[in-house]
């Protein structure tokens, strides 16, 4: 990748269950040594943690169905009063 002068690129899909929710990439400018097996394993483990963190953010950002229903009910009661 000439723009970043990257020689080696390591990437993996970020998955939530069977759905791809993103990608994680790492690059190096060094020609040798390439990414080792250990580095690839560590990178895969990091990707799993990143996918979990993204899912947690999604869960916090979405209102719980019960809370949403209660909020709608409170709003309806205020309007009818």
Report domain extents, the chain.
8-80
Q: Which of 17, 20, 24, 22 is nearest to 9 (CA)?
A: 24
Q: For residue range 26-47, what is the model confidence (pLDDT) as tens digits?
A: 888 877 768 889 999 999 999 9
Q: Classify residue 50 by burial, with Cβ atoms within 10 Å: 0-12, 13-18, 19+.
A: middle
Whether the pTM exceeds 0.75: the reply is no
Stretch 21-27: mean pLDDT: 91
Residues 6+ apart with CB under 8 A from 43: 10, 12, 24, 26, 35
Task: Reply yes or no on whether the pLDDT at 1 is more than 60.
Answer: no
pLDDT tens digits along 48-64: 999 999 988 888 887 66
What are the residue ranges of helices labelled H in the chain? 37-61, 65-80
Mean pLDDT over each residue of the chain, to the nearest integer = 83
């Amino acid at each position: 990748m000439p723009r970043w002068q990257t020689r080696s690129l390591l990437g993996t899909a970020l998955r939530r269950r069977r759905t791809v929710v993103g990608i994680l990439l790492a690059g190096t400018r060094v020609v040798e040594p390439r990414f080792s097996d250990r580095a690839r394993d560590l990178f895969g483990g990091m990707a799993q943690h990143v996918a979990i963190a993204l899912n947690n953010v999604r869960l916090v950002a979405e209102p719980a169905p019960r809370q949403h229903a209660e909020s709608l009910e409170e709003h309806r009661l205020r309007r009818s009063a």
